[in-house]
Chain A
Amino acid sequence: MAADNENILEVRNLSLDFGSPRGRVHALRQVDLTVPKGRIVGVVGESGCGKSTLAYSIIRLLAQNAEIVGGEIVFEGQNILPLSETAMRGLRGRRMSMIFQDPMTALNPVLPVEQQMIEIQYRDSISTGEKRKRAAAMLGKVGIPDPESRLDAYPHQFSGGMRQRICIAMALLVEPALILADEPTTALDATLEVQIINLLKRLQEDIGCSILFVSHHLGTVAELCDDVVVMYAGEAVEVGTVRDIFRNPSHPYTQALLECDPGRIKQKTRHLPTIPGELPNLIDLPAGCIFRDRCPHAWERCAEEHPPAYEAGEGHFARCHLIEEPERGRGTS
C-alpha cells in the first residue's frame, strides 16, 4: 500500500444499528476501511457479517430501520455522512455507482435497456442520440455482441450473465470515482463468474476508478483485489493486502476461513470443513472479543478486553490479542 496514494474513500470508526422489535441490532461496529485511488478493495466475510450493509451505508441506500450511530465516511476528502439527501443524490450515479447482487432483478423489467441507460445520463447536457451512442459503446466494451441492435431489447431478453454485463456497463457509464460491487457474481455460475471478474479487472484498469468489492468468496477476492478487509459479525477483524491476508493471516477467523475454502483444502476429505460455533447475538453484545466463542486460541483476556486493531505488519492490522501475545497461539493449535 503506497503511502503517497490519495485515498478515494476512508471509512473511519463507522457504527450502524438496525432497529428491530427485539432491540437494536448493532450491525456495524467501529469499522475502518480505506480505498486508495485506482485500487480494488475486497470486503469478505460470511453472510450476515455486515459487508453488504457497509457498502449500502457508503452510498446511503439503507433500509428505513438503519441508523448510523457513529464514525465518518470520507469520500474524496469530504465527510459525506452529514450531507443532505439531495447532496447525497448528487454523488450517486456521478462520483459513485453500484453493481448489485442479483442481475435478474436489478434492471427495470418494463423499460428497454436503452431507455434505462439513457436515463442514468440525465445530468449530461448532450443530445439523446449522443447518450445512446455512449450507451452502445459501453455495452460493446462489456462484451455484449452487436450492441447497437440489442439496445432496444428488454432485460428479460438477456441471460443472467448478459444482464450483469449491462449493469456493469451502467455503473461504468457514469464514469464514477468509486464503484461499489455487492457480490456481483454470487448469482452467476462459475464460468460466468470468471468472465465477469476478468471483465471488471480489465475495465477498472482502463477507466482507472476504484472498486469496493463485496464478496463471500475468497477465491474471487484473491483473483481480483489489491487489498482485503475481512469482516466478522459487524467488525473489520483483519485488514491488509491480498498477499498479507492469504500468505500471513493474522486473525484466527481469517485462518479458519482459509481452511474452509474448498480451493485451498490440501488433503482429500469427504466433507467440507466448517467453523464450529454460531454467530454471536448482535443485540446483546458479549464483552471482549467477538470471535472468542468460536476461536481455538481464546483465553481469559479475550473474554474481558475487546481487541484493538493491532498492527501485524506494514498496513496489515488484525483485531486479535495474539498479535501482542503470540506465544498463546502456539500451544493450543
Chain B
Amino acid sequence: MRRLFLAILVVVIAVTLLNAMIHAVPGDPAVIILGPRATPELIAAFRTRMGLDEPFYVQMVTFFAELLRGNMGQDVFTGRPVARIVFEQLPFTLILIFVSILWAAAVGIPLGCYSAIRRNTFIDKVTGVFSVGTIAIPAFVMALYALLIFSVELKWLPAVGAGEGFWDSAERLILPAFAVGVSWVGYMARIVRASMLEVLGENHVRMARSFGIPERRIVFRYALPIAILPTITLLGVGVAYLVSAAVFAEVIFARPGIGSLIVQAVDSRNYPIVMGCVLITTVLFVVATMISDLVNALLDPRVREGY
C-alpha cells in the first residue's frame, strides 16, 4: 500500500513539478513550448487551447481532471490526442522490457544460486566481477557495442526497426534486449547470491539439514522461494532503470517505442508528448510495483495475510 501511495505521489509530483517549471522559466510558456519561430497568432491560439491564461492551480486541477478522463492533451503540431500516440508506442517498449527481464532472470537467478552454493569457487568469483562490471557499464555503451559487433561487423543480426511478423520481430529484438538486460543479469545474480547466502544461514535451513534432506532439495525447495523475494521487489522498483536503458536501446536500434517518441518530442519541443511519456512512465512504475507486490504476496504467505 505504501508503495502504491508512493507511486501516485510520484505522478503528482512529477506532473506538478514539470508544469511548475514551465512557469518558473523566465518568459512566456507558450513561446518556450512552441519555440522562438512561432507566430503571435499561433501563440495566442496555443495559450487558449492549453489554458495557459488561467492561474497555475486552475491549470493543475484541470490537468488532473482531464487526466482522470483519459485525456492527456494534444500533439502541438498535429493535434492528435497524446494518449493515442503514447499508447501506439507503448507495446514496443513493453515487449522490449519484458523480454530483457525474462532473459536476465533466466540467466541471472541460476547464476546467483550457483554462486551462493559454490561460494569462493572460480565461477563465483568470475560471476562477481561480471556482475559489478555489467552493472557499472551504461546500457547505451552496451547497445552501441552490440550493434557494432553483431550487426555492423559480423552482420549476424539485423540492426534497425521493430520488424514485421513474429520471426522478423523476434530477430530484431535480440540485440536491444541483450543491451537492456545484460546489466540485470549481474544485478540479479548479485541479489540472489546475497539473499541465498542469508537464507541458507537461517535456522529453518539448519532444521531441514538436521533431517538429512539433500542439499539440492534444500536450495530449491526451502531456500529459493525465500531468496527470490528481494529480486522481485527489485524488479518492480527497477522498472525506472529499465525504462532509461530502453530509451537508449530504442534510439540506437531505431526501434519505435516510448523512448524514441520522447527523444523526438524533446527535439521538436513537443511538450504535451513529453508530458505524456513522463506520465506513461510513472504509470508503468505504478503497475510494475503493484505486480511485484502481488507476486510477492503470492509467494510469501506472511505478506498474503496482510492483504
Q: 8 Å CB contacts to B: which residues of A88-115?
A: 89-94, 97-98, 100, 102, 105-112
The reply to whether A100 and B203 form a contact with Cβ atoms under 8 Å apart is yes
Q: Quick one: closest A residue to B207, CB to CB?
A: A106
Q: Quick one: closest A residue to B215, CB to CB?
A: A89
B130 on interface, CB distance cutoff 8 Å:
no
The reply to whether B204 and A98 form a contact with Cβ atoms under 8 Å apart is no
Given A119-B221, A154-B301, verify A92-B209 contact (CB < 8 Å): yes
Q: 8 Å CB contacts to A: which residues of B254-296?
A: none
The reply to whether A59 and B210 form a contact with Cβ atoms under 8 Å apart is yes
Which residues does chain B contribute within 8 Å of A299, judged by CB atoms? none
Q: Contact partner of A167 among B207, B299, B302, CB < 8 A?
A: B207
Q: Quick one: closest B residue to A174, CB to CB?
A: B211
Q: Contact partner of B213 among A91, A93, A110, A167, CB < 8 A?
A: A93
For the complex, what is the distance from the CA of A170 to the CA of B212, rounded to whole Å? 13
A120 on interface, CB distance cutoff 8 Å:
yes
The reply to whether A122 and B213 form a contact with Cβ atoms under 8 Å apart is yes
Q: Contact partner of A106 among B204, B217, B301, B305, CB < 8 A?
A: B204
Which residues does chain A contribute within 8 Å of B212, judged by CB atoms? 89-94, 123
Q: 8 Å CB contacts to A: which residues of B181-216?
A: 202-204, 206-214
What's the least CB distance linking A190 to chain B, in Å?
23
Range of interface residues on A (Cβ < 8 Å):
20 to 34
For the complex, what is the distance from the CA of A116 to the CA of B218, rounded to whole Å? 11
Q: Quick one: closest B residue to A121, CB to CB?
A: B211
The reply to whether B210 and A156 form a contact with Cβ atoms under 8 Å apart is no
The reply to whether A110 and B214 form a contact with Cβ atoms under 8 Å apart is no
The reply to whether B226 and A109 form a contact with Cβ atoms under 8 Å apart is yes
What's the least CB distance linking A38 to chain B, in Å?
22
B300 on interface, CB distance cutoff 8 Å:
yes
The reply to whether B305 and A156 form a contact with Cβ atoms under 8 Å apart is yes
The reply to whether B207 and A109 form a contact with Cβ atoms under 8 Å apart is no
The reply to whether B209 and A61 form a contact with Cβ atoms under 8 Å apart is yes
Which residues does chain A contribute within 8 Å of B217, judged by CB atoms? 119, 122
Q: Contact partner of A120 among B204, B213, B225, CB < 8 A?
A: B213
Q: 8 Å CB contacts to B: which residues of A192-228?
A: none
The reply to whether B203 and A102 form a contact with Cβ atoms under 8 Å apart is yes
The reply to whether A156 and B208 form a contact with Cβ atoms under 8 Å apart is no
Which residues does chain B contribute within 8 Å of A102, judged by CB atoms? 203
Q: 8 Å CB contacts to B: which residues of A158-189?
A: 167, 170, 174
The reply to whether A107 and B213 form a contact with Cβ atoms under 8 Å apart is no
Q: Quick one: closest B residue to A154, CB to CB?
A: B301
What's the least CB distance linking A4 to chain B, in Å?
31
B222 on interface, CB distance cutoff 8 Å:
yes
For the complex, what is the distance from the CA of A272 to the CA of B280, rounded to whole Å? 67
7 nearest interchain CB pairs? A93-B211, A92-B212, A93-B212, A105-B203, A98-B210, A154-B301, A120-B211
With A119-B221, A156-B302 already in contact, 14 other A-B pairs whose C-beta atoms are closer than 8 Å: A61-B210, A89-B214, A92-B210, A100-B210, A105-B204, A106-B204, A107-B207, A109-B204, A111-B221, A112-B301, A119-B208, A122-B213, A156-B305, A157-B305
